[in-house]
């Protein structure tokens, strides 16, 4: 059977042209670019809580890193390196090969080097810590939204939730929609280029992992402000637009796992925001306004208030 050290050497030791020292010593060494701050984030994926034990290992490898890179994107940070702490029931080589393939393909796409980690026997558990760089003072923080800012979201919302609904037979989807929506759920793409393009444009940002209402709520709480959202302006994309209004609104407002960016920027930056979207090939949509009055208010396209509880609770998405 593969030993711990053979396993690390075979699957998780790779050239690290940027890091000063990668896998193999007591610590890895990174040399920050002068004038930058290091953005650091960890996300843990636990079998039975975040994924099923029989989940496709290649997709699991991708998603484990994608959710971490999404946190860097939400700060406007450029990915540099990551560590992988892995607990495994047994050294299953086909599983490891597929997991490493999904993980390292995404890492290569963003030039994010695997520089170290820890490997142990135990229930399947994947914990990644990412390191990113950002020019000092340029991070897009949750506490920086200003009264009068526009609220924007990237891409389309609710598609990962649509995939979940299809998998659980909550909704009947045609085969093409089902497979596309399930890919949004299993293979999210972090909005790294957009986050970087928004550095001197946006005030505050967050990635939409738990649903827009909850995630925007973090910006509001940290910034000490409130907001109004135009629910009919939320970008839902062609897959979700075929669904009834109630489903569209509920999934766009509270479906998780899309990993789009929600950010705020002053109205004077509208052209710059659209330009950042164009340059990075990501649609950006203006969906609301930051206000002094605390709380989140929802309206339809005509400005008529909507009841928050009628649209935001999503009983199917538990934890």
**Residues at the contact surface with ligand ADP, assessed by CB under 6 A:** 8, 12, 23-26, 84, 86, 114, 116-119
Report the nearest approach of ligand ADP to the CB of residue 11 (Å): 8
Report the nearest approach of Mg ion to the CB of residue 12 (Å): 12
- Which residue number, 23 or 65, has a Cβ lying nearer to ligand ADP? 23
Q: Specify whether the CB–CB gap between 71 and 43 falls below 8 A.
A: yes
**Contacted entry of ligand ADP, Mg ion, none for residue 116, CB cut-off 5 to 8 Å set by kind:** ligand ADP
- Which residue number, 118 or 170, has a Cβ lying nearer to Mg ion? 118
Report the nearest approach of ligand ADP to the CB of residue 26 (Å): 5
Closest listed residue to residue 86, CA positions, set 131, 121, 50, 119: 119
Closest listed residue to residue 14, CA positions, set 133, 112, 127, 129: 112
Q: With CB under 5 A, what is the number of residues at the site for Mg ion?
A: 1
Q: Is 4 in the site for Mg ion (CB under 5 A)?
A: no
- Which residue number, 83 or 275, has a Cβ lying nearer to Mg ion? 83
Q: Specify whether the CB–CB gap between 212 and 288 falls below 8 A.
A: no
- Residue 312 burial by Cβ neighbours in a 10 Å radius (0-12, 13-18, 19+): buried
- Which residue number, 65 or 75, has a Cβ lying nearer to ligand ADP? 65
Measure the CA angle with vertex 131, ends 160 and 14; round to 5°.
95
Interface positions, 113-132, toward Mg ion (CB under 5 A): 118
Report the nearest approach of ligand ADP to the CB of residue 60 (Å): 14
Query: Which residues, including other chains, have CB under 8 Å from residue 10's CB and lie 6 or more apart?
Result: 2, 96
Report the nearest approach of Mg ion to the CB of residue 66 (Å): 25
Closest listed residue to residue 265, CA positions, set 145, 137, 136, 154: 145
- Which residue number, 83 or 280, has a Cβ lying nearer to ligand ADP? 83
Q: Specify whether the CB–CB gap between 20 and 29 falls below 8 A.
A: yes
Interface positions, 169-198, toward Mg ion (CB under 5 A): none
Of all residues in the shown chain, the one whose CB is closest to Mg ion is 118
Crossing angle of helices 175-186 and 159-167, rounded to 10°:
120
User: Which residues are at the interface with Mg ion (CB under 5 A)?
Assistant: 118
């Amino acid at each position: 059977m593969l030993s711990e050290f053979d396993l690390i050497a075979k699957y998780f030791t790779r050239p690290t042209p940027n890091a000063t020292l990668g896998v193999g010593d007591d610590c890895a060494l990174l040399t920050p670019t002068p004038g930058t701050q290091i953005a650091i984030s960890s996300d843990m994926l636990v079998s039975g809580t975040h994924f099923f034990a029989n989940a496709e290992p290649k997709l699991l490898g991708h998603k484990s890193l994608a959710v971490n890179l999404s946190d860097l994107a939400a700060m406007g940070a450029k990915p540099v390196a990551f560590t992988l702490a892995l607990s495994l029931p047994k050294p299953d080589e086909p599983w490891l090969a597929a997991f490493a393939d999904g993980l390292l393909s995404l890492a290569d796409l963003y030039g994010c080097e695997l520089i170290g980690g820890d490997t142990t026997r135990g229930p399947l558990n994947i914990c990644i810590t990412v390191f990113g760089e950002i020019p000092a003072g340029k991070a897009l923080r949750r506490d920086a939204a200003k009264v009068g800012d526009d609220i924007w979201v990237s891409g389309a919302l609710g598609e990962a939730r649509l995939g979940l609904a299809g998998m659980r037979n909550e909704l009947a989807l045609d085969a093409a929609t089902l497979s596309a929506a399930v890919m949004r759920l299993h293979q999210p793409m972090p909005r790294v280029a957009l986050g970087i393009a928004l550095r001197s444009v946006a005030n505050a940002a967050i990635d939409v992992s738990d649903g827009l209402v909850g995630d925007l709520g973090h910006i509001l709480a940290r910034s000490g402000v409130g907001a109004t959202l135009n629910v009919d302006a939320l970008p839902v994309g062609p897959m979700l637009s075929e669904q009834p209004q109630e489903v569209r609104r509920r999934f766009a407002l509270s479906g998780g796992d899309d990993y789009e960016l929600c950010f705020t920027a002053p109205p004077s930056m509208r052209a710059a925001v659209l330009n950042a979207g164009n340059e990075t090939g990501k649609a950006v949509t203006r969906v609301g306004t930051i206000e002094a009055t605390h709380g989140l208010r929802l309206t339809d396209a005509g400005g008529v208030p909507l009841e928050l509880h009628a649209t935001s609770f999503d009983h199917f998405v538990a934890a």
